[in-house]
């Protein structure tokens, strides 16, 4: 490696560990600001770029894909590269991508005009799952139980639209349950003004979601989903139980790493999808119906690092279990270094 690796530093993201890893392993790196006007000139003296962009930096949605593509055109290796991240936090893009490669995507319907949506709703079976194009931890997912409710959502979708950023009180029950003691509550309370300010800034930055309506088939009787996260030739897996009195599993925090609960077919499919779309990492969410058929609900290049850190091991691409822990950040940067050296 003749040139250093560029790392965009964003606190509480993968960059914390990437910087620490480079220091531990004596890997030549430089910290860069991907929002600087001269970022392209700065990147010319580097061999690679690591930028864990996403919801922690809402303004990254304005520029990240452009910087990544430009860096690739310059010959840099990038994480995430364009193949990995162009469809990130965009369920519309994911629908067409996953259909194109024949992935077992759950039946999904999208409409871009009110008349077509209303006509389809008139013949649809309920309940249905309504989703916005973006959002994480089930924040923009709801169960639609009736035709009238679906029509109401349609009219809103094709008029004033939806705010894709939930308010601070979203998931308040879960937030309350995570409070351990009075000092923990005090710390959360002190962070409240900053959290409210960030929510307000993000809402002003990102546009309202409108001009489309997105529905997925509802599979009854699902008690958990299966999250398979592929990084290179490693697949980390766990199940997430649905929230109490709910149908959603994402964001529940009720995770299990019991290997016996992981259908091997999910691992095979996750590896296959990752390979076919040339992704460096991919988190795939599956559910099973009563006949044990698997259905893919969505994918994402981004995922919580703690969920990988908690995994006791991983499956390799031959579906052999490797009983050793590795941090997601380490797996990503090791793959990057191996690619640079080879």
Confidence of residue 204 (pLDDT cuts 50, 70, 90): low
- Unique residue bearing structure tokens 């990503």: 332
Overall average pLDDT of the 281-286 stretch: 98
Q: Which CATH superfamily is domain 107-164+207-217 in?
A: ATP-grasp fold, A domain (3.30.1490.20)
Instruction: Calculate the CA 155 to chain-centre distance.
Output: 28
Q: Which residues of 247-264 are buried (b: 16+ CB within 10 A; e: fewer)?
A: bbbbbbeebeeeeeebbe
Helix, coil or strand: residue 39: helix
* Contact criterion met (CB below 8 Å) for 108 and 216: yes
pLDDT at 164: 77
Rounded to two decimals, the pTM is 0.89
pLDDT at 140: 86
Overall average pLDDT of the 121-138 stretch: 89
Is residue 7 scored above 60 in pLDDT?
Answer: yes
Would you call 75 exposed, middle or buried from its count of C-beta atoms within 10 A (0-12, 13-18, 19+)? exposed
Task: Give percent above pLDDT 70 in the chain.
Answer: 87
Pairwise CA distance, residues 135 & 132, whole Å = 7
pLDDT at 163: 86
CATH 3.40.50 fits 5-79, yes or no: yes
Pairwise CA distance, residues 118 & 112, whole Å = 11
pLDDT digit string, tens, across residues 74-128: 999 999 999 999 999 999 999 999 999 999 999 999 999 999 999 999 999 999 9
From residue 268, alpha-carbon distances to 28, 62, 146, 262, 319 in Å are 36, 34, 36, 11, 8
Q: Which CATH superfamily is domain 224-334 in?
A: ATP-grasp fold, B domain (3.30.470.20)
pLDDT digit string, tens, across residues 44-59: 999 999 999 998 898 9
Q: What residue spans define the domains of the chain?
A: 5-79, 107-164+207-217, 172-205, 224-334
pLDDT at 176: 45
């Amino acid at each position: 490696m003749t040139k250093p690796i560029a790392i965009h530093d964003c606190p509480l993201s993968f960059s914390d560990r990437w910087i620490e890893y480079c220091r531990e392993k004596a890997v030549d790196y430089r910290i860069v600001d991907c929002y600087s006007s001269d970022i392209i000139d700065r990147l010319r003296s580097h061999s690679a770029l690591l930028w864990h962009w996403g919801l922690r930096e809402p303004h990254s949605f304005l520029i990240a894909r452009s910087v990544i593509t430009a860096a690739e055109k310059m010959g840099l290796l990038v994480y995430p590269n364009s193949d990995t991240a162009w469809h990130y936090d965009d369920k519309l893009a994911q629908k067409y991508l996953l259909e194109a490669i024949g992935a077992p995507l759950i039946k999904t319907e999208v409409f871009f005009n009110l008349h077509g949506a209303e006509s389809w709703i008139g013949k649809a079976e309920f309940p249905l799952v309504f989703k916005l194009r973006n959002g994480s931890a089930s924040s923009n997912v709801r169960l639609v139980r009736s035709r009238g409710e679906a029509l109401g959502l349609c009219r809103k979708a094709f008029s004033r639209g939806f705010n894709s950023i939930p308010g601070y009180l979203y998931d308040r029950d879960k937030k309350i349950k995570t409070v351990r003691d009075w000092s923990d509550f005090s710390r959360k309370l002190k962070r409240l003004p900053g959290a409210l300010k960030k929510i307000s800034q993000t809402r002003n930055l990102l546009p309202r979601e409108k001009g489309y309506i997105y529905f997925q088939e509802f599979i009854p009787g699902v008690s958990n989903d299966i999250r398979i996260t592929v990084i290179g030739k490693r697949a980390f897996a766990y199940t997430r139980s649905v929230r109490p009195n709910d149908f959603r599993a994402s964001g529940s925090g009720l995770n299990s790493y019991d290997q016996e609960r992981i259908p091997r077919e999910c691992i095979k499919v996750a590896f296959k999808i990752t390979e076919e779309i040339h992704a460096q990492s991919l988190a795939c969410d599956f559910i099973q119906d009563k006949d044990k058929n698997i259905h893919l609900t969505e994918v994402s290049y981004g995922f919580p690092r703690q969920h990988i850190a908690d995994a006791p091991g991983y499956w390799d691409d031959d579906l052999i279990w490797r009983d050793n822990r590795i941090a997601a950040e380490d797996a990503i940067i090791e793959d990057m270094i191996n690619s640079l050296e080879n």
